[in-house]
Structure 1
Amino acid sequence: MAEYYLAVDIGASSGRHILGHLEDGRIVLEEVYRFENGMEKKDGHLCWNLPRLFHEIKEGLKACRAAGKIPKSMGIDTWAVDYVLLDGEDRILGNTYGYRDGRTKGMDKEVYKIIPEDALYARTGIQKQMFNTIYQLMAVKTQEPENMEKAEWLLMLPDYFHFLLTGNKLSEYTNATSTQLVSPETKQWDYELIERLGYKPSVFRPLHMPGTVVGPFSKEVEEEVGFTCEVVMPATHDTASAVISVPALTDDCLYISSGTWSLMGIENDKAICSPESRERNFTNEGGYEYRFRYLKNIMGLWMIQSVRHELGDKYSFAQLCDMAEAESDFPSRVDVNDDAFLAPDNMTEAIKAYCRKHGWREPETTGQIAAVIYQSLAESYAETVREIEALTGRTFPAINIVGGGSNAAYLNQLTADKSGRCVYAGPGEATAIGNLAVQMLKDGKFEGLAQVRACIYDSFGVKKYEAR
């Protein structure tokens, strides 16, 4: 009888419950539940609706029971940087802000009054992004100091959901590194830095590695969903889970975890915290078994997702790719990492405005808008390859794209063409597979990461794109 493991993978726009089991030496996936997600306006800010998300988590668990497939263990991964502060009675203090909220404007300057930007990077190895938790907490300190004072715990969002399921509060390493408050040397919170910034050190509890058992469901959850199982920490940062499942990842292969964001990089044994690395905006996020995900955050498919939504979702992504390919000669380009595209009121208008401002021909049709996005994204990927090679002194002849974006054949071919590298695409469900892989490793189904990656390759394969 099959033993099932459950990955709950929650992204910024949707979440899904994916069961996995081993069959004839291969990993088999089954999606049992899916739900929508998104930031909501509250008190003039962009926030997450955590009660609704936890309700959806439990509904997905009920779907497992209804299917007669009770998981042996489960784990939750989400995006990075967002968190909750809890008081002594485990109540959330203030709003649960989303990373696209604008309240962090100017908070970088407040942080740099205490520690200069170059010194901060040398100390943490994490790239500057205005939504990093370090700047979010400075906003709490300056705008809501009473909440910082009342706080007893800080939990990243997947840790909070694990707490709601089990009653146990544990903090996981990979997601914590995105806060810009973890030392790449000790692999724990940098308490000296935290004290200097005026944050409350006692709320930052010891970090645990993926594979740690959080505990069984609480009695309350067990009664509601109709069964119990063990909650095991995956790599709770969705990109860390995705990188675990990159089947072609070797010392001479780059990866792109392609979704709302595109995370492009390599795996390293040590963090690269040089001034050159900081100037090129690379980051050293924590990975499985203390590997470092040396990568750059690229805006990714957020832009085309936003345009599609503005069009009333009447086109599929495959159709948008076809329309872009038909306009492949359209000359205009944008900097996909420009802040103008982080959270515009209208992405289509933001792209047009950027083109006007920078002297490019303004796109008029949907196909031209899509062409600008896909061509610009592929060129950003190609530039990032060159940067990684310059920073590491190494050569990378191949790129393995995983995640939902790996299904975009047109973008895959563009990436191969513009980078001059061989592109491998797949698997699409990389994050969920990486989540499941940690649970299976913890359960002794595999001897180590290399064996898991070999199994993933055998189970899902890759598509190959050669530069033309």
Structure 2
Amino acid sequence: MKQCFFAVDLGATSGRTILGTFTPEGLEMEDVNRFPNHLIETGGHFYWDIYELYRHIIEGLKIVAQKNVEITSIGIDTWGVDFVCVGKDGGFLRQPYSYRDPHTAGAPEAFFKKVARKQVYEWTGIQVMNFNSLFQLDTLRRNNDSALAAADKLLFIPDALSYMLTGEMVTEYTIASTAQLVNANTRKPEDALLRELGLTENNFGRFVYPGEKIGTLTKEVQRMTGLGDIPVIAVAGHDTASAVASVPAMNPDFAYLSSGTWSLMGVETKGPVITEETESLNFTNEGGVDGTIRLLKNICGMWLLERCRAAWGQTSYPELIAEANASEPFRSLINPDDVLFANPADMEQAIQTYCSDSHQPVPHTRGQIVRCIFESLALRYRQVLDNLRTLSPHPIETLHVIGGGSRNELLNRWTANAVGIPVVAGPSEATAIGNIMIQALAAGTAKDIASMRQLINRSISLETFYPEDTDVWDAAYLHFKQVTMNH
């Protein structure tokens, strides 16, 4: 009997549920339903609608039941850091804040007055970003937040959704590692940090690792969907951890670039790499599958273009790419990670301001803006890869681009030119594939991660881009470093 796995894959702007089946030819996947994930702005805060996300998951499960598909298990992955406060009676105390909420501005500095920045990094190995759960929780505490004050448990987003399906509360390792609360060496929550927040391990669900069973669908969910007591498996709850699990690498000498709203570039290591250099470069050591650590750096990704496109009336990608291709090369460059681009009211204006402030020609046409974004991203990838080479315990011979950005042929070609090594693009559905892989491992369908990666390599069409025009890109890189250093 063929085994079907139901994957819930939620990103910061949209979500979907997918059915994955392993056949002798490889992996087959089909979308069950897709839906938007809207931020709700009210009362000066940005929230996620956890109930709406749950409703869409239930819809997906109903569709599967109506098709008479037997599913082996269910797994959920989402973005990192955000969490739900749960009361003593098991009810959610309010909708979860979004990491894009401005309330954590300046939060790291406030926390480091209590615990030295260096000490926090030595324990967790996690890069400092003001929206990390550590700083969200400290901010809520300082603001006497009523939901936190009344909370009995804190559940990260994938764990909150699996709780809604099963009634079981867990804290999955990969998603918890994004919080900056987990000790990178012991792979458990760091008590000293929890104490500073007035919390203990009891404020979290049972700690689990990818592949462990959370529970089975509650009677309520079974009744609503028409399904039986299907197990819900803790996959790599953090979407990047799921995506990296599916990198179709044939040997370990690779770096990956998970490319979507965010770009995450890194390498897989057996243990954390926590040094003065990784700290000063703000590299992060997040939990991976199979006991690995993902040594990586967050880079702003398609967020820049998504925000511009929203203002341009959702012009098609091919149109924008053609306009970018026809524009003058290296006319204006930006640092995609500048604070100016975090959440501006007008992204196009923010890019123009940056270029004007750094005494470069200001991009005016859509083609110039898109070209500026793509070239800047490719050069920023090179900068981060150069740093990774010095930190990685193994050589880096290939860059695997996975996620939605792997379909962006122009950016992939420019990335290969910028980084000077082959870029292998695909799979674009990396997160869902990784989610399904972990479920398959839990079900005993698959043997280990390495053999799964080889199966993916065989069963999915990948495109390789080789570096060209490296002299031109080398010169552009020097210019990029100059422009971004002085801004």
Corresponding residue number in structure 2 for 1:159: 159
Tell whether the 8 Å contact from 1:105 to 1:130 is kept in structure 2 after alignment: yes
Counterpart position of 1:233: 234
Contact 1:334 1:373 in 2 (8 A): yes
Structure 2 counterpart of 1:417, one-letter code: N
Does residue 434 of structure 2 align to residue 434 of structure 1? Answer: yes
8 A contact 1:318–1:408 mirrored in 2: no
Match of 2:86 in 1: 86
Could you say which residue in structure 2 is the equivalent of 1:39? 39
How high is the sequence identity, in percent, across the aligned residues? 37
Please, what TM-score do these two structures have when normalized by structure 2?
Answer: 0.93
Match of 1:274 in 2: 275
Instruction: Work out whether 1:67 is the aligned partner of 2:67.
Output: yes
In the TM superposition, residue 392 of structure 1 has moved relative to its aligned partner by 3.1
TM normalised by structure 1 equals: 0.97
Where does residue 311 of structure 1 map in the other structure? 312
2:137–2:197 CA contact under 8 A, matched in 1: no
1:296 aligns with 2:291: no
- Whole-Å Cα distance in 2 between the matches of residues 147 and 67 of structure 1? 41
Deviations 1:362-400 (Å, cap 9, x if unpaired)?
110111110010000000101111001122365312100
Residue in 1 that maps onto 2:462: 462
| Contact kept in structure 1, 2:108 and 2:129, CA below 8 Å | no
Superposed, 1:74-113 pairs within 5 Å as: 74-113=74-113
Instruction: State how far apart, in whole Å, the 1-side matches of 2:250 and 2:110 are.
Output: 39
**Partner residue in 1 for 2:338:** 338
Aligned-pair CA distance for 1:40: 1.3
- Superposition pairs of residues 25-424 of structure 1, within 5 angstroms: 25-228=25-228, 229-248=230-249, 250-313=251-314, 315-392=315-392, 394-424=394-424
- Post-superposition offset of 1:91: 2.1
Q: Name the CA distance, whole Å, in 1 between partners of 2:193 and 2:97.
A: 23
Preserved contact between residue 195 and residue 201 of structure 1 (Cα < 8 Å): no
**CA deviation map 1:254-295 (0-9, x unaligned):** 101111111100000111111110111110000001200000
RMSD value, Cα? 1.4
Q: How many angstroms apart in 1 are the aligned matches of 2:197 and 2:223?
A: 43
State the Cα distance separating 1:459 from its structure 2 match: 1.2
* Counterpart amino acid of residue 327 in structure 2: E
Partner letter of residue 332 of structure 1?
S
CA apart distance, 1:163: 0.4
Tell whether the 8 Å contact from 1:242 to 1:257 is kept in structure 2 after alignment.
yes
State the AA in 1 paired with 2:410. Y
Q: Cα offset for 1:358? A: 1.4
**Cα 1:205/1:227, change in 2 over 3 Å:** closer
Tell me the distance in 2 between the aligned counterparts of 1:318 and 1:74: 35
Measure, in 1, the Cα distance between the counterparts of 2:330 and 2:213: 52
Amino acid at match of 2:323: M
Worse-matched range after superposition: 400-409 or 441-450 = 441-450
CA distance in 1, matches of 2:253, 2:212: 30
| Range that drifts further, 274-283 or 190-199 | 190-199
Give the superposition deviation at 1:70. Answer: 3.1
Q: Quote how far apart the aligned CAs of 1:429 are.
A: 0.2
> How far off its partner does 1:145 sit?
4.3
1:16 — aligned with what? 16
For 2:306 and 2:274, the matched residues in 1 are separated by 33
Q: Distance in 2 between matches of 1:185 and 1:112?
A: 21
Deviation at 1:68, TM superposition (A): 2.8
Q: Distance in 2 between matches of 1:85 and 1:328?
A: 50
Give the counterpart letter for 1:236 in structure 2.
G
* In 1: Cα distance, 2:192 partner to 2:118 partner: 17
1: CA distance, partners of 2:179 / 2:54: 23
Alpha-carbon distance, 1:201 to partner: 4.6
Contact 2:269 2:393 in 1 (8 A): no
| Structure 1 contact 111–197 (Cα < 8 Å) conserved | no
Residue 476 (structure 2) aligns with = none
Q: CA deviation at 1:230?
A: 1.3
1:83 and 1:103 map into 2 onto residues whose CA distance is 15
User: Quick one: structure 1 residues 382 and 249, their matched pair in 2 at CA, closer, same or farther if it must change by over 3 Å?
Assistant: farther
**Inter-partner Cα distance in structure 2 for 1:381 and 1:328:** 21
Equivalent AA in structure 2 for residue 24 of structure 1: P
Q: Aligned letter for 2:291?
A: Y
Q: 1:25: how far off? A: 4.0
Partner secondary structure for residue 114 of structure 1:
coil
SS in 2 for 1:387: helix
Query: Distance between the aligned counterparts of 2:440 and 2:128, measured in 1?
Result: 34
Shift of 1:65: 2.0
Structure 1 stretches of 4+ with a deviation exceeding 4 A read: none
Whether contact under 8 Å (1:249, 1:400) holds in the other structure is no
2:443 match: 443
- Is 2:49–2:95's contact at 8 Å kept on the other side of the alignment? no
Q: Distance in 2 between matches of 1:325 and 1:309?
A: 21
**SS of corresponding position for 2:189:** coil
2:290 is paired with a residue of what secondary structure? helix
Structure 2: gaps (5+ residues) = 469-487
CA contact (8 A) 2:86 2:92 kept: yes
Equivalent residue pairs, number: 467
Alignment-derived partner of residue 5 in structure 2: 5
- Give the AA of the match of 1:231: V
Distance in 2, Cα, partners of 1:16 & 1:428: 14
Shift of 1:348: 1.0
AA paired with 2:309?
R
Q: Which stretch shifts more, 231-240 or 320-329?
A: 320-329
Q: 1:392 to 1:458 in 2, by over 3 A?
A: closer
Shift of the 97–460 alpha-carbon distance from structure 1 to 2, 3 Å rule, reads same
Mean CA deviation greater in 27-36 or 315-324: 315-324
* More displaced 10-residue stretch of structure 1: 355-364 or 65-74: 65-74
Question: Distance in 1 between the 2:199 and 2:321 partners?
Answer: 46
What secondary structure, in the 3-state scheme, does the structure 1 residue paired with 2:188 have? Answer: coil
